[in-house]
Structure 1
Amino acid sequence: MLIRRETPADRAAIHAVHSAAFRREEGAVPVEAPLVDELRAEGDLIGALSLVAVRDGEVAGHVCCSRARLGDDPAAAVGLGPLGVLPAHQAHGVGSALMHAVLGAADALGHGLVVLLGEPAYYSRFGFAAASALSITAPDPKWGRYFQARTLTAYRPVQAGAFAYAPAFSRI
């Protein structure tokens, strides 16, 4: 398996990955697929943090981070998601490989925090914990323990406050 940055040639495959990974009912396009397209079109998708997993010549998974705001600091944190893996490749380490790669890349780029909305039982293995423990406020208080953050090397305790995802997230 190869983890690499997405290229323009990957865009249809990325859309297909999220459509298949998050499909809840036949024929319906899950919001995660167009979300990635919108983040990219609006310039909020961070190119160096939009990664694909390639297995046997096929894009099997994708993860991305987008611009976000934490308090008054537009560079302190990035929003992670979506993370999607084709159903045939799930439970084979693709999602974990993507997570380790994107966290390493975000750290290397100097980001202090990665924030996401997801299942604590899954994301805790990557060092995520309740964002509230770091004094980070969710856009929606109902998110509770599902709103999580992971500190990176550049993290400073003053990086706290209200978190805001890129505008495309507010339309889903």
Structure 2
Amino acid sequence: MEIKLRQENINDFESVFQLIEKAFEKEEYSDHKEQFLVERLRESDAFIPELSIVAELEGKMVGHILFTKLKIVNDSHAFESLALAPVSVLPEFQGKGIGSKLILYGHEVAKSLDYKSIILLGHKDYYPRFGYEPCEKYNIKMPFDVPAENCMVIALVENSLEGVSGEVIYPKEFFE
């Protein structure tokens, strides 16, 4: 099974919308509107085209991941970071390592663009395998009430989270 990963382009938008919709339609912890979030983020200042990535298998789009800009802010500093949301794989292809490939490839692209960290809200048993740690370890707080075990961060560059703390400021498109 050879998965091809590449940057999303304008011709992919409709397929990505449908893929995300299918990927989340039976997900228990979802508002089932992730596809609309991606559309809003594409039009925002937080969007980074290189970090909207699709996975293809034999010419069929089977996965998508999006990383967008966010900030971690405290009284004296604002730190640039990324949000990972959402990662989507068609249901019939879940559990085959496609999500993992998208995440790891996304990390490499983000590093090449000089991003130092990524924050996410996700399954506590899935993301630690990629190096994600609880945000609370760094005194990084989410702007909404969610279980601490689901709020995670990864340093893409060694020691890049030293001295980083504060509240995560998501782009407004996450709340529309």
TM-score scaled by length of structure 1:
0.91
Q: CA deviation at 1:30?
A: 1.6
- Residue 169 (structure 2) pairs with residue 164 (structure 1): yes
Aligned partners of 1:17 and 1:60 also within 8 Å: yes
Correspondent of 1:41 among 40, 43, 46: 43
Deviations 1:76-115 (A, max 9, x none): 2111110000112111111010010001111121112100
Query: Which structure 2 residue ranges, 5 or more long, are not aligned?
Result: none
Task: Name the residue aligned to 1:21.
Answer: 23
Amino acid at match of 2:127: Y
1:80 aligns with 2:84: yes
TM-score, with length taken from structure 2: 0.89
Q: Given residue 126 of structure 2, which amino acid in structure 1 is its aligned partner?
A: Y
The 8 Å contact of residues 67 and 78 in structure 1, kept in 2 or not, is answered as yes
Q: Distance in 2 between matches of 1:53 and 1:40?
A: 18
Amino acid at match of 2:142: A
1:159 positional shift: 2.2
Q: Give matches, 1:8-157, under 5 Å.
A: 8-24=10-26, 30-71=32-73, 72-73=77-78, 76-153=80-157, 155-157=160-162
Deviation at 1:127, TM superposition (A): 0.5
Q: Secondary structure at the match of 2:78?
A: coil
> Which SS does the other structure have where 1:140 is aligned?
coil
Structure 1 residue 140 displacement after superposition: 1.6
Does structure 2 retain, via aligned residues, the 8 Å contact 1:120–1:129? no
How far off is 1:44 after superposition?
A: 2.0
- Percent identical residues: 27
Amino acid across the alignment from 2:16: I
SS in 1 for 2:174: helix
**RMSD of aligned Cα (Å):** 1.6
Please tell me whether the aligned partners of residues 138 and 161 of structure 2 are also in contact (alpha carbons under 8 angstroms). Answer: no
Within 2, Cα distance between the matches of 1:156 and 1:136? 10
The size of the alignment, in residue pairs, is 167
